Amino acid sequence: MSLWRRAVVGLLTAMTVGAMGSGCQYLEMVQRRRAMRAAFASEPRLALLRSLAPEDAFHVTGRLAGAEGHDGPLLVVAISHHHAADEVVAWKPVARNVELYGLLLPEGDYELLVLADLDRDGVFESTDLIGRTDPSAPVQVGASAASDGFLIDGPTIRVDPREPGTTSVPIRVAATRTGNVVPSLADEFFALRWGQLGLFHPADLLVHTQGYFFGLEEPDPGKTQVIFVHGAGGAPVEFAHLVEGLDRTRYQPWFFFYPSGLPLEQMATVLSHVLEIAVEDLGLRRLVIVAHSMGGLVAHAALGLLCRNGVPDWMALFVSIATPYGGHDAARVGVERAPEVVPSWRDVAPGSRFLQDIQATPLPDQLPFYLVFAYDNGARRVHRTPSGDGTVPLRSQLALPVHLRARRSLGVDATHTGVLTDPTTRAIVLDMLAEHAAPRGAGLNPFTRLGDALGGVLGFREADE
């Protein structure tokens, strides 16, 4: 087996669940990218470029005006005339009573159309036009329009569902799930296979989710919102054990379901942006982030953005679990030698600029930050591998600059994925919630603080500083 093949297999084993299935998806990704490059060379289209290189696209967000009171779903469509007339590059539903849109678009000039399923037949069509941007003033998407290199403030689009029109652009899109509430983590929407799709085919996951932020019930500002962030190839279903332990009269679980193959800095920017919008539009008053594996890197970087001017009064706690703060060696080899590189691998490679920025930029002392590391000290461990959870070495989980800044670093005897279903992890998370993140105006739950006296009983240990 060639060096790059060994490195890729090792990386997939380390950073995803189901390594064999991941290896097959990686090979499929290689084949698909080569086919898309050939197709683009023959007949260039921006929609194809969006699927081929979503890491080079930009996230355009804006608001709709005039849709207040409209109880049906809306659809925002991006049209380009660059390579072909009236090319539909991307589309995205807008949830009921949420006047926000967001589109991932390659560099170019676009006209944005807004459609409504006025006849309630489950299909958006060209005759359902209720708003559009000015065709003579296209929306410019590119680095010069992005204040942070990725996010672009799109225009406010005025709509009027009472005065529908027709567009000459042929459009027929079936209405899909809208809204951010999925009743159960057991729903197929949250399945692990979608998480692996997001690692190797990010645009496909975005088509599936049509968003990033999902919960199990409508948000209640009187409760603390617990935001769970999965790792590479992961999905919200992995947090089922932790969610089952929450007192749902006090805490509400939410999930950042993102394409883990995209650059982590971009995903951190999206996470920070989504949280700011959620707080502003939904009136949320208390938020916590609990992140696993590579998701801890995304969350850490997002908090760095949110805390640039101090800790927001609504951010209460951050817990990272088995996070590779020092990176993973297989990512470096994969970046250097693999025929196709998953963009997020570049950020996980030791010494990457992304990791350097995290290690060099401490979170404010006022934000409680707890680091949970996994060390798998039992018979399951392969002793020829570096000490760790069988996936991420301890030297990476406990990268010195981050480890020293955490209020506490707590160890759990579990594997990299098993740490999420370990009762000790749940006990730690519940204790931290009770100590730091009870809903405002409510007393603390009667949890006993986890301490050194209970460490041996519950199976966790605190890392020496």
Tell me, yes or no, whether 26 lies in a domain. no
Domain shared by 281 and 372, yes or no: yes
Query: Which among 90-99, 283-292, 450-459 has the top mean pLDDT?
Result: 283-292
| 296-320 per-position pLDDT tens digit | 999 999 999 999 999 999 999 999 9
Q: Return the CATH number at 376.
A: 3.40.50.1820
The CA-atom distances, in angstroms, between 3 and each of 13, 217, 338 are 15, 47, 9
Tell me, yes or no, whether 122 lies in a domain. yes
Tell me, yes or no, whether 35 lies in a domain. no
What pLDDT does residue 177 have? 63
Domain shared by 300 and 445, yes or no: yes
Domain boundary, last residue among 174, 198, 227: 174
Domain shared by 215 and 324, yes or no: yes
Nearest alpha carbon to residue 217 among 191, 194, 260, 246: 246
Domain shared by 233 and 102, yes or no: no
**In Å, how far from its chain's centre is CA 308?**
20
Domain shared by 166 and 228, yes or no: no
- The whole-model pTM stands at 0.89
| 354-390 per-position pLDDT tens digit | 999 999 999 999 999 999 999 987 644 455 567 889 8
Tell me, yes or no, whether 28 lies in a domain. no
What pLDDT does residue 330 have? 85
Full domain range(s) for residue 307:
188-462
Domain shared by 200 and 58, yes or no: no
CA torsion, ordered 91, 95, 99, 105, to nearest 10 deg: -20
Domain shared by 272 and 419, yes or no: yes
DSSP string, 374-421: E---STTS-TTSPSBSSSSBHHHHT-HHHHHHSSEEEEESS-TTGGGT
Tell me, yes or no, whether 291 lies in a domain. yes
Q: Encoding tokens for residue 131?
A: 């708003």
Domain shared by 298 and 393, yes or no: yes
Domain shared by 114 and 160, yes or no: yes
Domain shared by 226 and 335, yes or no: yes
Domain boundary, last residue among 143, 174, 205: 174
| 235-288 per-position pLDDT tens digit | 999 999 999 999 999 999 999 999 999 999 999 999 999 999 999 988 899 999
Tell me, yes or no, whether 331 lies in a domain. yes
Domain shared by 220 and 114, yes or no: no
Number of domains, the chain: 2
What pLDDT does residue 147 have? 78
What pLDDT does residue 148 have? 80
Q: Pick the residue with more confidence: 296 or 10? A: 296
Tell me, yes or no, whether 23 lies in a domain. no
What pLDDT does residue 268 have? 97
Tell me, yes or no, whether 18 lies in a domain. no
Residue 227 backbone class (left: φ over 0; alpha: ψ -120 to 50; beta: rest) = beta
- Mean pLDDT, the chain, integer: 88
Domain boundary, last residue among 139, 174, 209: 174
Domain shared by 163 and 226, yes or no: no
Phi then psi dihedrals of residue 41, to 5 deg: -65, -35
